[in-house]
Amino acid sequence: MNQRGFTLTELVVTISIMAILFAIALPATQDWRERAANKEAARQMLTWLRHARSEAVTDSQIKQVTLNLTAKTYTDYNGTALDLPADVVEARSLTTAAWQGTGSFTITFFPKGSCSDTLFIRIENDDNLVIRLDSTATGLARM
C-alpha cells in the first residue's frame, strides 16, 4: 500500500532545524534594525540642515537653527521646535575637542550658502555615522 505523509520524527527534526535557524537569524535582524534606525536619524538631520541652508540661499536672508541636546530639540529658522531623532546623542563644533551630549549649538546660514561654524553630529556614538556641517564657503552638510 502506498501511503503519503511525514512521520513524527521527520516533523520534529524539521521544526528543530527551523528553530535553530530562527535563533541564529534573530540577533542579526535586530542589529540590522538598529543600524537602519541610526541611518534614518542621520538622514533626518541632514535633511533639516540642508533645508535651512537652501532657504537662506533662496530667500537671500540669514537663517539660524539650534540643536539643543539637553532638551533633545532642533529649532528651525522659523522658531519651530522639532524633536530630535532619539539616535542623535552627541555633537561638537570645530573649536571643541570633545563630544558633548548636552548643551546647545546654534548655526547661522548666510545667503551665499556658507554657515557660521563647522559642526559635527554623531549618531549613537558611531564614528561611521557623523554628519559634518562645513563653515567653508559652501556650508554643505554631509555624512
CATH at residue 70? 3.55.40
User: Is 76 within the bounds of a domain?
Assistant: yes
Residues paired with residue 119 on neighbouring β-strands, in sequence order: 93, 133
Structural domain that includes position 64: 31-133
Residue 48 lies in a domain: yes
Going from the C-alpha of 5 to that of each of 2, 11, 18, 112, the distances in angstroms are 10, 10, 19, 75
pLDDT tens readout for residues 31-41? 888 888 888 88
In a domain, 18, yes or no: no
Please check whether residue 17 lies inside any domain of the structure: no
Question: Residue 122's closest CA among 101, 94, 97?
Answer: 101
The number of distinct structural domains making up the chain is 1
Cβ burial of 101 (10 Å; 0-12, 13-18, 19+) is: exposed
Identify each DSSP E strand in 13-70 by its residue range: 63-68
pTM above 0.85, yes or no: no
Is residue 104 in some structural domain?
yes
Instruction: Tell whether 26 is covered by a domain.
Output: no
Q: Which residues of the chain have pLDDT under 70?
A: 1-2, 137-143
